[in-house]
Homo-oligomer: A and B are copies of this chain.
């Protein structure tokens, strides 16, 4: 069910009958609702569904291939995935070490932390009286709302977090040991060392590591990433509430957030530091920055071996967000003919794909 894998030209037909070429075998067929119907039947029922239903099944198959071949799995997700209940599924993946590297946006970081302190609520729909919401202290994300109060709690947390980092005596040894293959940067990561005077230089990935440690909450994605040595990249971590807190922090001038080291590390990830070379796979929910980060990094090790994209982006805008996997091939970001794009919104699709790919038993 791979895009582009039947692009025969007339030349390819030599010595073959045309019947050979298009030897379609799978009949389109929907699930049978008669009798008992289980989640296994639902998932398997997508195989021959056609349209995006079949893409769901192909995405699951792709993930199962990643896992069977012990591929390194990059998981990318935009912040709305953490705002909504996909957070619990990503947490499950992190807790069970099902993924190896994560890329997300600023919102993906801060909302995971905030949810440990106070809930996000469902609104009645996507059209609201937003002026009144504002007046009442509610901030809207689609059909979800977050109270200002949540951000005040985050502010307290962040102040204490930054104080610990900037004024405290945090040790980076633990971090560096965990991620020791990035030994190029070991030098770089010492806190408050002589050379850097009174400035503390941290990368987004290190900040996220310490956030996960400090939050110490089993509902948190970042907590499990910290626990399980899953590095989380977020180049634009300052683009949101986290960055605003940094802006207003008393000792801000002492804090340097360095993305130069993080890009080095991210570009190195597809090579790994294991003795045996692993294949690389990606699962990407949404588009924009987090999609490009993962695909671009994989360019340096000959492209992704496996890729699952879930988003509604279209290629006709020539944005990377909407680019088909085929475009990625021209850049060497994905290997020939590999990968599946499911066209749709991930809060519907990822529960199905994650269940089928990571949890369901397939014997």
Chain B contacts of A2 at CB under 8 A?
A: 124-125
Q: Judging by beta carbons under 8 Å apart, are B347 and A345 in contact?
A: no
Chain B contacts of A1 at CB under 8 A?
A: 122, 124-125, 143
Q: Report the copy number of this chain in the oligomer.
A: 4
A117 at the interface (CB under 8 A from B): no
Chain A interface, number of residues (Cβ within 8 angstroms):
157
If A88-B29, A201-B199 touch, does A52 touch B348 (CB 8 Å cutoff)?
Answer: yes
**A268–B248 Cα gap in the complex (Å)?**
10
From residue 312 to 339 of chain A, which have CB atoms closer than 8 A to chain B?
Answer: 312, 314-321, 323-324, 326-327, 329-332, 336-337
Chain B contacts of A140 at CB under 8 A?
A: 327, 330-331
If A121-B25, A124-B6 touch, does A37 touch B359 (CB 8 Å cutoff)?
Answer: yes
Selected from B34, B235, B347, the residue in CB contact (under 8 A) with A92 is: B34
Q: Judging by beta carbons under 8 Å apart, are B195 and A31 in contact?
A: no
Stretch of A64-72, A255-263, A270-278 on the interface side:
A255-263
Chain B contacts of A237 at CB under 8 A?
A: 259
Q: Judging by beta carbons under 8 Å apart, are A247 and B259 in contact?
A: no
From residue 1 to 53 of chain A, which have CB atoms closer than 8 A to chain B?
Answer: 1-13, 18-19, 21-22, 24-34, 37-39, 42, 45-46, 48-53
Chain B contacts of A359 at CB under 8 A?
A: 33, 37
Stretch of A168-176, A208-216, A222-230, A288-296 on the interface side:
A288-296
Query: How distant is A359 from chain B, measured CB to nearest CB, in Å?
Result: 6
Query: How distant is A355 from chain B, measured CB to nearest CB, in Å?
Result: 6
Q: Judging by beta carbons under 8 Å apart, are B132 and A8 in contact?
A: yes
User: A262's closest neighbor in chain B, by CB?
Assistant: B238
**A343–B343 Cα gap in the complex (Å)?**
12
Selected from B50, B243, B342, B355, the residue in CB contact (under 8 A) with A84 is: B50
- What would 16 more interface pairs be, CB under 8 Å, given A19-B136, A50-B144? A2-B124, A18-B135, A26-B121, A37-B359, A48-B122, A51-B316, A52-B316, A54-B122, A79-B320, A131-B336, A134-B329, A139-B331, A140-B331, A236-B259, A243-B296, A314-B343
